[in-house]
Every structure is written in structure tokens, then in C-alpha cells.
């Protein structure tokens, strides 16, 4: 709904009152209004402003990174995960890092299993599976950290030549639509090791 349209409910006044209440003084805010048009009332106002990096001023987004699956000496699979507020302007600026030790299958393993089961795989399958996996992973870490997770990534080996030369890199297999333009799909480095 466009906030500047005429309607029985003055959404501009309601939004202004919300911003003044939440911030103490009027200043432009980026918000999403969830409106019940039948009852003509605002159900929720979601502040979509992202915090700024204290080092460079770029936006901070909350991400969850999944590590490689490894085996204990007894053969039990384990994996490390890390959540952090990552600067979109400089990936070396990361804050509020927390480590976890759950077992969450990486997206590559899920895609391999889907391909084995159906006998084929395509870009549409990857998009659907990565969305489902990303949203469920984001919800888990949002619940664990109390911070909304905006992207999920894993580590993969980026092959540079036929000789096997390459490097490990973080790939964001799921990004919330709201940060799609703030965060590239490939980080160019392994954020699990470098942050």
C-alpha cells in the first residue's frame, strides 16, 4: 500500500507517531506496514533499517555460515556454524560472532540427494531447495540468537583450473530479498576462516 494515498485511515500520521515513539524524534525511516484493510488498522510496523558498521559506515547484515561436515574419531559427523553481523562494504568487519555445533546438512549434500532420488537436477530445483533450506536455517539461528538472520552461506571449493587449483570460498545460497543487492552470491573468501 502506498502511504501517500488518501484513505479513511491516515497511515502517514500513524507511521510518523510510530517513528517518533521508536526513535524519539522524527527522521526518515525505512519501514514496512502490515495493514489489515478490512478492519482499517495497522497490524505491525517492521523497521527495515540495518545497523551501520562502526568501522566504515556500510550496512551490517546478520548471516549464518555452515562449515564442512567432518568426522569425530568415533565416526560421528559434526559441523561448526557461525553467526555474525557482517559488513557489506568490507567482509573483514564482522561483529557479534557466535559459534554453534549442530548438524545441518550442507546445501550441496541436499542437492546430491535430490539428484540421486529424481535422477536429474536443474536450476529451478536448486532455487527451490536452497530457499527451503535457507529459510529453515535462518529461522533456526534467528531463534537461537534472537537476531533476524538475513542470509545463509556455506563453504565450497572454487575450481580455477583443470589441474585442481582453486580455493575455498563462502557462497550465500540463500539471501533475504531485502538484502539481495547488498550481499553478493560469492564472497571471494572463506568467511568461516577469515572472520
User: Mean pLDDT for each 10-residue chunk of the chain (195 residues)?
Assistant: 48 59 49 76 72 90 90 86 94 91 83 74 73 91 92 90 90 88 89 80
pLDDT at 4: 44
pLDDT at 93: 93
Pairing of strands 151-159, 41-47: unpaired
pLDDT at 141: 95
Of 155, 169, 172, residue with least CA distance to 63: 172
Give the whole-angstrom CA distance, residue 67 versus residue 70.
9
Give the whole-angstrom CA distance, residue 178 versus residue 66.
21
pLDDT at 67: 87
Residue 41 near residue 9, CB atoms below 8 Å: yes
Of 107, 122, 120, residue with least CA distance to 156: 107
Kind and range of the H or E run holding 132: helix 123-145
181 φ, ψ (degrees, to nearest 5): -90, -10
pLDDT at 74: 92
Residue 156 near residue 191, CB atoms below 8 Å: no
SS3 state of residue 126: helix
Kind and range of the H or E run holding 119: none
pLDDT at 179: 87
pLDDT at 129: 83
Amino acid at each position: 500500500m502506498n502511504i501517500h494515498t488518501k484513505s479513511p485511515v491516515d497511515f502517514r500520521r500513524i507511521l510518523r507517531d510510530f517513528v517518533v515513539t521508536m526513535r524519539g524524534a522524527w527522521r526518515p525511516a525505512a519501514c514496512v506496514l502490515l495493514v489489515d484493510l478490512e478492519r482499517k488498522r495497522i497490524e505491525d510496523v517492521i523497521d527495515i533499517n540495518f545497523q551501520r558498521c562502526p568501522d566504515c559506515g556500510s550496512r551490517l547484515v546478520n548471516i549464518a555460515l555452515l562449515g564442512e561436515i567432518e568426522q569425530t574419531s568415533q565416526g560421528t559427523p559434526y559441523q561448526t556454524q557461525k553467526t555474525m553481523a557482517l559488513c557489506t562494504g568490507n567482509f573483514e568487519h564482522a561483529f557479534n560472532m557466535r559459534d554453534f555445533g549442530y548438524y545441518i546438512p550442507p546445501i550441496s549434500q541436499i542437492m546430491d540427494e535430490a539428484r540421486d532420488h529424481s535422477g536429474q537436477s536443474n536450476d529451478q530445483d536448486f532455487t527451490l531447495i536452497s530457499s527451503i533450506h535457507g529459510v529453515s536455517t535462518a529461522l533456526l539461528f534467528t531463534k537461537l540468537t534472537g537476531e533476524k538472520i538475513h542470509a545463509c552461506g556455506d563453504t565450497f571449493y572454487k575450481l580455477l583450473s583443470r589441474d585442481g587449483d582453486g580455493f575455498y570460498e563462502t557462497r550465500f545460497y540463500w539471501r533475504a530479498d531485502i538484502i539481495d543487492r547488498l550481499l553478493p552470491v560469492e564472497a571471494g573468501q572463506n568467511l568461516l576462516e577469515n572472520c
